Structures are given as C-alpha cells and as structure tokens.
Amino acid sequence: MPYELKEIAAISGMPGLYRLLKAARHGVLVESLDARAIRSMAPARNKVSLLAEISIYTTDYDVNVPLTDVFDQIHARYGTNLPVTNKSGEAELAEFMGQAVPDYDRDRVYFSDIKKLASWYSVVSQHLPYQPAAAADAEPAEGEPLSTGGVIDAPEPAATAGAPGNPEATPADTAK
C-alpha cells in the first residue's frame, strides 16, 4: 500500500481528512490532517468513512478500484503535484480521472467525487510519506526469510523411538 490509509477518514459534517486516534464512548478522538493538527472529538452520530475502504466504480459492475490503488496510480503519473484542484473545470477533471483510472464509470462517478479525490490526494500526499509498493511485493533475496515472523530452523534428523527429541514417541508411531 503506497499510502497508509487504514487510519485516515473523512467524517460527515466535518471538512477535511482526519487521523483516527482513539475510540471513545461518545465518538472518536481524531486529529486533523492539516498544518494545525488539531485534536477533536467526532460525535458518534457522524458517519466515519475510512479511505482504505473507499473504491471507485468501473465500467465492470463486479469490479471497483480501491482508493489506495488509485492513489498509487496518481502518484506514479503525477507525483505529489496534481494538474487539477477541487476548483478545476469538468473537462480537466474528466481528463485527469480518465488518466488515473481509464475504465472508471462515467455515469456513477460524479464530478464532485473527482473533486473530492483530488482534494484528498493533495492532503494525503502532503501529510503522509509515500512508500513504494514495489518494495513490499519484491521477491525475497537468496537466504532471506519468507515472512517477518522469523526463520524456522531446518528439521532435525528423524528421532528414533525413545530418543530424547520426542519422549512420547513409540515404535508404532515411528513406523507410520
């Protein structure tokens, strides 16, 4: 995932994007993603939409493109400087979206959605570090463990019955 969006949310009734900090009894403690980084309480009545769970409609009704993938495509094409803003015209926004997600559904993705996408990308690219996805998807080098859980040592030679390696082993168990 190029940008870590699991803790970033858009909250209804509150402008901008927020980092979720802690759940509380009456809502969620959040921190704004802007220069001020103000902490506040988002009431439980407001809808909290995690960016990691948002996707873009495509022409194939069974397939949606996750916002993380869209952000990765935008970063690969434009870096952190977008050619559009949330104040750009409809033609510019349609061209931008067509380049970011060529098969987006033009009937179900509105210009207000594209404006929001451009605004969110600008905020996220300013306040979160970009982590190339290729590093996570790369094949492990020779001798490098396949997981981060640690390396499992090579198996020991088969123990004979009554050997200290397995005190419960019996001759019948080893014959199997």
State the DSSP string of 116-169. Answer: HHHHHHHHHHHHS----HHHHHSPPPTT--SSTT-PPPPPPPPPPTT-TT-TT-
What region does 133 belong to: left with phi over 0, alpha with psi -120 to 50, or beta? alpha
Q: Which domain holds residue 128?
A: 8-133
What total number of domains does the chain contain?
A: 1
User: Is 1 a member of any domain?
Assistant: no
**Is 116 a residue whose pLDDT tops 60?**
yes
What CATH number should be reported for the domain holding residue 119?
1.10.10.1650
Rounded to 10 degrees, the C-alpha dihedral 13/19/22/26 comes to 0
**Is 9 a residue whose pLDDT tops 80?**
yes
User: Is 78 a member of any domain?
Assistant: yes
> What single DSSP character describes residue 104?
B
User: Is 146 a member of any domain?
Assistant: no
User: Is 148 a member of any domain?
Assistant: no
Give the residue with greater pLDDT, 46 vs 167: 46
User: Is 126 a member of any domain?
Assistant: yes
Cα 80 from Cα 69, distance rounded (Å): 15
Cα 52 from Cα 69, distance rounded (Å): 10
pLDDT bracket for residue 157 (50, 70, 90): low
Question: CB neighbours of 53 closer than 8 A, spacing ≥ 6?
Answer: none
Q: pTM of the full predicted structure?
A: 0.68
Asked if residue 139 lies in contact with residue 94, where contact means CB atoms within 8 angstroms, the answer is no
Question: CB neighbours of 127 closer than 8 A, spacing ≥ 6?
Answer: 33, 34
Model pLDDT, residue 160: 52
User: Is 173 a member of any domain?
Assistant: no
What region does 33 belong to: left with phi over 0, alpha with psi -120 to 50, or beta? beta
What average pLDDT does the segment 31-47 reach? 85
User: Is 138 a member of any domain?
Assistant: no
Q: Residue 42 — φ and ψ, nearest 5°?
A: -90, 120
User: Is 165 a member of any domain?
Assistant: no
48-107 pLDDT, tens digit per residue, is 888 889 999 999 988 899 988 888 888 888 888 888 888 888 999 999 999 889 999 999
**Is 12 a residue whose pLDDT tops 70?**
yes
Model pLDDT, residue 165: 61
